[in-house]
Structure 1
Amino acid sequence: MTQLNEIKALQQAVEKHDGIELKLNWDMLENRSDAEQTDFMAYDSGRLVGFLGLYSFGSKIEVCGMVHPNYRRKGIFSGLFRESIPAMGKAVKILLNVPADSVSGKAWLETVNCTFEESEYMMKWDGEALPDSGGSVRLRPSLPEDIGMKVQLDIVCFDFKAEEALAYNGRLEKDGFQKEFYMIEAEGKTVGKMRIHRDGEGSGIYGFAVLPEFQGKGYGRKALQEAVRVETSRGQRVYLDVQPENEKALSLYTSIGFIKESQQDYYLYSN
């Protein structure tokens, strides 16, 4: 817990100084296994001054990190990155995640071989009170037997390969995320899923997907509205991510009250 507190304190110092929002995937950070080699840290006189984290999504690894403002231009982050490369293993794709407004982050990118890949909006709900779904769409806690459906949804909605989806969902269950999954039911069938991670007063919605044959019927909208309604009734702030080119999803999110809070940019690293 001490190490997590150090990372949180460093994040707060960097974000305040730079006027940015870092994406450190706290839902994953808080559930790291001691056996994993995914987090790399630099200390000065017992003080954490640099951090780099690796986040695995199937065959893709995202890299995000930071250095305290008083310790920059000393090669700290470059050293952490070099140290982390062996731990990336045989990842098919390595994406370097930098907030769009991070001047220091964009400057570091110029020192490595990478090309722009995509952007992602981090959105927060800031709308009016939402209606109850009226029972036409139901969110229920995921059960162990839902693993097949979750894998199928990752394949058809997120372009995972079958083995990647199996490994990814298996790791999520192993790391204790099973309790965060909810299945979407409509027409008496399971038609989709989402994961809700609660961190303090914030609730992040991840992996939101509806089977293609059930899209366009309003089930996704009602499921998302129900999730937001329940979380806000608990006093939670609600967040989600979306790629700006995903116009259909972006339109849905904005129509029910989500607004853009910040933007993350991703660069494809070539070793």
Structure 2
Amino acid sequence: MRDMPPEEVAADIRDIVESRDTEGGTGEPDQGVRVLFLRHGEPDYPYGQYPDPRRVPLSARGRAQALAARPAVERFAPTAVYASDTAHALQTAQIACASCDATIEAAPALRERCCPSPVGFPIAEVHRVTGGGGDEVPGDSDLRSPAGEGTLDAAVARVGGFLDDVVARGAGQRVPVVGHRGPHAWTISRLLGAPVQVDRALDLGHAAFSLFSFAPNDRGKIDFINRESSGVGWSPLRTDVA
């Protein structure tokens, strides 16, 4: 699924959605809700200092990734759009959904579990305390218990409650949700009825998609996971995105 041109991803997403809409051969759409989960594009982390994870914007490559995702979102024909209220998630939604009629609604419930306590500290010092290494910002982990961020169980419940609310708001919706690796992994575990995997083995690449289907009185189904419109090898990536 990696390195697919955006138009192929867009066509695949539309075909999957349309096939689900006519399940059973009746030719009539069912009353379910489709949730297209889009991870944010690559963030522009500052060098050498731990950033406020909610204020980090997209990098030039991240903006290009969000732009490459736009055809798939257009083909999805959204009825509503929700995005985590972090800067890079909102920017991803604004770029990827720029041609959609639906209004983008910021949703704090879609936030990642972050670590606010080391904000502003040198990365080297954060790595010394956490046991990491290198110059990169330490990644999110469900093994940690960030101060002020609540428990993992609470975070999983937060995201699950948000999805329940989206499904309850009306049948027949097609809803892009722009979020993060954690909420995506927790959603997959919930739909599979499996324990949350602290290593987030079921990953989602930057500006990649997973598609979920929710029918009335149903836990939900996974249509696909981690479909990328701008894989590592796909080029050229436009970087002239405002």
Higher RCO by CA contacts (8 Å cutoff, separation 6 or greater):
2
Provide the TM-score with structure 2 as the length reference.
0.26
TM-score, normalised relative to structure 1: 0.24
Structure with larger Rg: 1
Q: Which has the higher strand share?
A: 1
